[in-house]
Amino acid sequence: MNEQYIWGFLIDKIGNPFGVAGVMGNLFAESGLKPNNLQNAYEKPLNLTDEEYTKAVDNGSYTKDDFVNDHAGYGIAQWTYWSRKKGLYEYLKSRVLPIDDLTGQLGFLWEEVKQIHGLEETLKTAHSVREASDAFMLEFEGPADQSENNKQTRSGYGERYYTEFAGNQGNIAVFDLAQEDSSTAEKSPSKARKLTIYKRLFYNAYCYKDGIIQTPTGVQVHSTGANNPYLRRYVQPDDGRLGKNPNGNDHNQPGGNVCASAYIGKLADGTVAVYQALPWDYRCWLSGSGSKGNANRLGFIGFEICEDGLRDETYFNDAVMGKGVLLTAYLCQEFGIDLDRVRDHAELSSEGLASNHADITHWLSKFGLNMNDFRAAVGLALEDGVAVTYIDCDEETCLYDALTINPGTYLNLRSGPGQDYASIARIPRGSIVMVLDDTNPEWFKVSYQGENGYAMAKYLERLPDPPEPEPEPEPEPQPQGKRTLELSDATIAELYNAIMESGFFPDARSGNISNIDYQ
């Protein structure tokens, strides 16, 4: 299983079956192609099996320092030297992958190959397995035993892979095999990485109301530039997870000039989450214009990551290299967007397609990364596939609509379930509210004009659920020209009286607008 996958991964990078076979023979000699392989000589002194060591590294009981400095070979290439183990650890952990993740280890291996002078070129142009195998053994692995005997053994393993995957089928067939392998991997639900997206569409924002629909052609990644990692600063109203923004300066309101398609940051309880604010094919307002254009208008879906003080590596790994990478990969996957069309604000700015900002490169650089690392991580996520679960905040919380039928003019919306709690809004009689929770028979949790609170249940009358939308009727032929309805003053007066007699607006009729707190 691993063999085919590794062949596919490497042929994609190297393109030359001799080069791939030369690498694989060495990896087999080192680890038997097992990504969780702990060097056998260390299993006894550490008193850990491959599985136990791997688990301990992942759960932190075997610390990063221990892992880096224990001199024990680990992984498909049996990385041993401290700086290489440190690189391996950081490469995988910054991508939120387990230490024995095969794709992650291959990704790191390839990064290392590219940094060894001339090795990539040798693998791409080698005319025999032996030529590639020797180069990889001496320049990449550098084993203690560099004898002719060992060279023959390793290239012999490589020949077996060459025969199995390239020998009788030629390069084209092998490439197809690799493609087939990676596409079945994408479809495997166990391998796909999971992401939850909360939907909290910005109905109040002008950007949403403008609703300019365009084909997504890229992804623009931003971070907020302000030290406030909490989503509630930008995303409102509160859904019970976000918490409330007491300053009223969130992005879901008319008049603002910034509106992202999605936001990543902390919920009130500190969990990092993704909130979608615009349908993905709506134009967002994020990039601003540069000398050559405006990324928003070129179809770049944009999201904001809430910045903290830019020092917390755990938050960085979760919000940027974790959920930021997964969201980007998901958007690429859904809309067929090429990795080359993933840009941060800083890049777009230098390409003349956005205003002058440094995000998110300034944040990545704090942890030794850049946008190429970000894109590489997106590429790895794409290989596994991303499986998204959507939770719609409106649908999830609104049980049904209710009419306020209180005898006074207003019904109080209170901050808690009781009359001791402060009144946070007054709901005019006859208003419709969303019932979010009706488990307490005296006080329902309701939402009125984006404000969540509690109202007395006995003054709320459940409205019937809206009927299923009927199929669109055939349009009737319209008569040409405008139609106007003429009403005489007498008819208007009659209508007015009929409405008032109905008793629906008694206070309005008497002119006596009361504000009795009758609760």
Contact positions vs Zn ion (CB under 5 A): 222, 345, 357, 359
Shortest distance in whole angstroms from residue 363 CB to Zn ion: 11
Q: How far apart are CA 120 and CA 294, in angstroms?
A: 38
Shortest distance in whole angstroms from residue 180 CB to Zn ion: 40
Shortest distance in whole angstroms from residue 324 CB to Zn ion: 13
Q: Which amino acid appears at position 282 of this protein?
A: Y
Shortest distance in whole angstroms from residue 454 CB to Zn ion: 39
Query: CB count, 10 Å around CB of 387?
Result: 15
Beta bridge partners of 195: 388
Shortest distance in whole angstroms from residue 345 CB to Zn ion: 3
| 337/353 with CB nearer Zn ion | 353
Q: How far apart are CA 228 and CA 422, in angstroms?
A: 28
Q: How far apart are CA 449 and CA 218, in angstroms?
A: 34
| 88/342 with CB nearer Zn ion | 342
Which token pair is 85? Answer: 């183990």
| 85/233 with CB nearer Zn ion | 233
Which token pair is 91? Answer: 């490469």
| 250/359 with CB nearer Zn ion | 359
Strands, E assignment, 284-422: 300-305, 342-344, 386-392, 400-404, 410-414
> How many angstroms separate the Cα of 176 from the Cα of each of 4, 22, 180, 195, 285?
12, 20, 6, 30, 42
Shortest distance in whole angstroms from residue 222 CB to Zn ion: 3
Q: How far apart are CA 128 and CA 109, in angstroms?
A: 21
Which token pair is 398? Answer: 């609104």
Shortest distance in whole angstroms from residue 302 CB to Zn ion: 8
Shortest distance in whole angstroms from residue 357 CB to Zn ion: 5
Q: Exposed, middle or buried, 15 (CB in 10 Å: 0-12/13-18/19+)?
A: middle
| 244/362 with CB nearer Zn ion | 362
Q: How far apart are CA 386 and CA 27, in angstroms?
A: 29
| 222/323 with CB nearer Zn ion | 222
Shortest distance in whole angstroms from residue 309 CB to Zn ion: 18
> How many angstroms separate the Cα of 69 from the Cα of each of 77, 89, 344?
17, 12, 35
Is 460 in contact with 404 (CB distance < 8 Å)?
yes
| 8/216 with CB nearer Zn ion | 216
| 287/404 with CB nearer Zn ion | 287
* SS percent in the chain: helix, strand, coil, step 5: 45, 15, 40
Q: Torsions phi, psi of 342, nearest 5? A: -100, 120
| 101/359 with CB nearer Zn ion | 359
